Structure 1
Amino acid sequence: MRYARAVMNLSAIDLNLFLVLHAVLETGSATDAAKQLHVTQSAVSNALARLREMLGDPLFVRSGRGLVPTPRCEELRPLVVNAVAQLQVAVDGQRFVPAESTRTFTLSCGDNQDVCDVPRVVEAFARKLPRARLRVVSIDFLMASDGLTTGEVDAALAPQMVATRDGYFCEDLYLEEMAFLVRKEHPRLRGSTLTKEEFNASRHIGMVIAQGRPGIGHRYFQEFCKEHGLEFNPALSVSHFIAAGMAVTRTDYVAGMPGRTADALCAMLPVKRLRLAITTPPMPMALIWHERTHSDPGARYFRQLMVEVLKEPSMTRATEPRAKPAAAARRARGR
C-alpha cells in the first residue's frame, strides 16, 4: 500500500495522535497501548491509520504478536519521546505528587544490576510511586538510542567513568569489587585465592555487554592485567554475567565479574568465588543522568529514591551531584 505524504499546517494536526504513537512505540503493541491510554484497541488502530496517511509511511509492521517500527518511525522515536516528556514536565510543573504520578520512569543498567540493585529499587518504587511505571532497559538500548541525551532514559547505573560527556551528571553510589567464579569441583582451583600462576594457566570468559564489545569494566581490568603481568586468555565471550556463571558450571573456565553478582550466583549455582592474590582496585559505580532531566521534579524524585536505596554509607554524599564535562574527563585520563 502506498502512502501519500500530506502537506499540512501544524495547527491542523491532532496532537493526540502522537500520544498514541508514543504509547505504541513504548509497548510494541496496539492492545497494550490501548490499555495504557485507557481507550479501545480500535481507537489506537484508527489513530495509527490517520498517522500513516498524514506521514506517508506505514510506521509499523507486524512481527509475531507485536509491532516493529519502520526506519521512518525510528527516526521519529526520539522526537516523540522528548516531546511527550517535555509536555509532561509542563503539565506537572513543580507539582510532582509521587503517590498520584502515572508517569513511566526508565532506568538503564547491566544484568549485574538487574540481579543486585533493581529488586531493591523496585521495592521502594512500588511503595513510593504506586501508580507510576518502571521500565528497565539494557546498556545496549541506552547506547543505541543515546537515551540519556534524548530523554528516552531517565537515569543509568554504570561505572562512574561512563559520565564523560558534556551535560552528564553523576552521583557515586558504591564501590564494586572484582571477583572470579569457578565451578565448585574445579580440578585445579581448590582454594579461595587465585594466584597469578593459576590465573595465567586458566582459560577465561570475557564479557561483551556493550553492543557486542567489551565494556568499560573489561577495559579497566585489561589495563590492570598488563600492569601486573596477568594473561587474560578468553575461551568464551558472553553478553551477560548470568550467562558467564552458567557457563562456569559446565567448564573449567574462570569468569571475572562484580563481586556482588558473584555472591548472588554462588547462592544459586554450584560455583564458588575466588579472590585474586593481587589486589584489584574497586570500581566506583554511579547513578548517571543528563542535564535535560536535571531539574525535572519527577526525574529528581526518581533519582533521589535510587540514591536512598543504593548509596552505601561509606560513600560521602555531596550536597550537589557533580557534572562530568567531557573535556575535563579526557584530561584526567591523559594524566
Structure 2
Amino acid sequence: MTTILNRIDLNLLRVFDAVMEERSVLRAGQRICLSQSAVSHALARLREVLGDELFIRTPNGMQPTARALMMAPLIRQAWRSLETAVGVPKFEPSNANRQFTIAVSDFVTIVMVPRLLDLLRHEAPLIDLVVRSDSTTELAEQIDLGHVDAAIGTFSHIAPRFRSRSLFACDDVLIAGSSRHLGRLSVESLSELSIAAISLHGQQNELAEGFVSERGLFRRSEMYDRAALEKALSTSGQSARIMVSLPQFFALPTLLEQSELTAIVPRPLAASMSRTQSLTTYELPYKSESAEVGVLWHERTTNDAAQQWLLNIISRATEHLRDRSAGHIAGSKRSFIGTTSRKMAAIDCQF
C-alpha cells in the first residue's frame, strides 16, 4: 500500500472523487476546472496505478466498478480531512466549549472584566474564563508555556516572541473619602497629604522607571507616575509622603473611608470605585504621564482563530474606556478658551 501511495498524485484522487460524484467526465472537469481531456488523462493514469478500470462508459454515464464503489467513501472522507487540515480553521464562539485564561491586575478586573463577562454571556455562553493575577513573577513563562492566553497591563521593551495591542490610556487622579473636602489641590496642599500608592510586584527586580523585568517582558509595577509627582513637588521644595504602598487596589475604599489616607490611582479606576463607594475624585496639580494599557500574547497564537476572537472581545470590553479617554481629552481642549488657570487645569486633565 505504501508503494502505491508513493506513486499516486493526490490530484488524481481529486479527479476520481469528481467523476464519482458527477458520473460524467465533462461535468467533473467543469467542477474542478479541468478540461475533458485532462480528466480522461488523469483517469487513465489512476487506472494504470490501481490496475482497475474504475469507471465504465455507458449510455447512462460513467458507471463505477466494484473497486471504485469500495474506494469512493474512503477517498471522500480522506479528502475532506485533508481540506480541514490545510484550510483556515474556524472558530464559532456561540457553540464553542473551551476555556481561556487571562492575566490581569485588580485594576483591570474592576474596570474591564464585568463587561467582558457580559459579552461572553451573550455571545459565547459555553466559554469559561479563568482570571489570574498578573503580579506573579512567572508571567512571561506562563505565556511561553501556553498557560496564559493573554495578559493585560502596561508593558515596555517587549521581547520579539510576544505581540501586543493597545486598549486604552489613562492618567492619574487622587481619591479620598467623601467625608473629606480637599477643594482644588495645589502642590503645597498635596504635600501635606498622607498618600497610598500601589506597587503590584513589590521591590524585587523593580526598575527605576517603575517597571519590573522578567524573561524579556517589562511590566509596569508602580501604578502611578512617581516621577511626575516627585518632580512637581521638588520644584516647589516640597516632598510627597507615600504613607503606605499596597500590592493591590481592592483594599483602598475601606482604608480611605476609615482613615485620613488619600490615594493616587488611574482615572478609570477612580470613576469605577466612585460609582459604588463613598469616594471623591480630585484632579492633581500636575500633569501625569499617560499610561498605555494593552493586551499581550505569544506570537505563535497570532493566526489562531480562537485567539483572534479573544483579542477582539477584549478590545470590545474596553471600548467604554477608550470613549471616556477621548471625551476627557476633548473636554480638556475646549477648556483652553478660558483663563490661564483654566488652561492649566485642562492640561492637568489631558491623557
With the shorter chain as reference, the TM-score category is 0.5 to 0.7
Q: 2:27 is matched with which residue?
A: none
- Closer, same or farther in 2 for the Cα pair 1:127/1:163, shift >3 Å? farther
Shift of residue 210 of structure 1? 2.1
Counting only pairs closer than 5 Å after superposition, residues 1-335 of structure 1 correspond to structure 2 as 94-141=89-136, 143-144=138-139, 146-159=141-154, 161-162=155-156, 164-186=158-180, 189-191=181-183, 193-210=184-201, 216=220, 218=222, 221-229=225-233, 231-311=239-319, 312=322
What is the letter of the counterpart of residue 202 of structure 1?
L
What is the letter of the counterpart of residue 125 of structure 1?
L
Judge conservation of contact 1:140–1:211 (CA < 8 Å) in 2: no
So what's the TM-score if we normalise by structure 2? Answer: 0.57
What is the letter of the counterpart of residue 280 of structure 1?
S
Aligned length: 223
Shift of residue 198 of structure 1? 1.4
Q: In structure 1, how many angstroms separate the alpha carbons of the residues matched to 2:244 and 2:86?
A: 50
Judge conservation of contact 2:167–2:295 (CA < 8 Å) in 1: yes
Judge conservation of contact 1:245–1:255 (CA < 8 Å) in 2: no
Q: In structure 1, how many angstroms separate the alpha carbons of the residues matched to 2:297 and 2:94?
A: 23
- Closer, same or farther in 2 for the Cα pair 1:242/1:219, shift >3 Å? closer
Q: In structure 2, how many angstroms separate the alpha carbons of the residues matched to 1:315 and 1:177?
A: 9
Judge conservation of contact 1:204–1:233 (CA < 8 Å) in 2: yes
**CA deviation profile, 1:211-254 (whole Å, cap 9, x unmatched):** 57676262761121233235332222222212122211111112
Q: In structure 1, how many angstroms separate the alpha carbons of the residues matched to 2:182 and 2:105?
A: 30
What is the letter of the counterpart of residue 184 of structure 1?
S
Q: CA RMSD for the aligned pairs? A: 2.8
Q: In structure 1, how many angstroms separate the alpha carbons of the residues matched to 2:199 and 2:87?
A: 40
Bigger drift between 109-118 and 91-100 goes to: 91-100
Unpaired segments ≥5 residues, structure 1: 1-89, 317-335
What is the letter of the counterpart of residue 289 of structure 1?
W
Judge conservation of contact 2:164–2:296 (CA < 8 Å) in 1: yes
Shift of residue 158 of structure 1? 0.6
- Closer, same or farther in 2 for the Cα pair 1:290/1:265, shift >3 Å? same
So what's the TM-score if we normalise by structure 1? Answer: 0.60
List structure 1 segments (4+ residues) > 3 angstroms apart after TM superposition: 90-93, 141-145, 211-215, 313-316
- Closer, same or farther in 2 for the Cα pair 1:208/1:224, shift >3 Å? same
**CA deviation profile, 1:48-97 (whole Å, cap 9, x unmatched):** xxxxxxxxxxxxxxxxxxxxxxxxxxxxxxxxxxxxxxxxxx89971322
* Structure whose CA Rg is larger: 2
Judge conservation of contact 1:141–1:147 (CA < 8 Å) in 2: no
The percent identity for this pair of structures is 17
- Closer, same or farther in 2 for the Cα pair 1:261/1:314, shift >3 Å? closer
What is the letter of the counterpart of residue 224 of structure 1?
A
SS in 1 for 2:283: strand
- Closer, same or farther in 2 for the Cα pair 1:219/1:157, shift >3 Å? closer
SS in 2 for 1:100: coil
Q: In structure 1, how many angstroms separate the alpha carbons of the residues matched to 2:161 and 2:106?
A: 26
- Closer, same or farther in 2 for the Cα pair 1:313/1:182, shift >3 Å? closer
SS in 1 for 2:259: coil
Shift of residue 306 of structure 1? 1.3
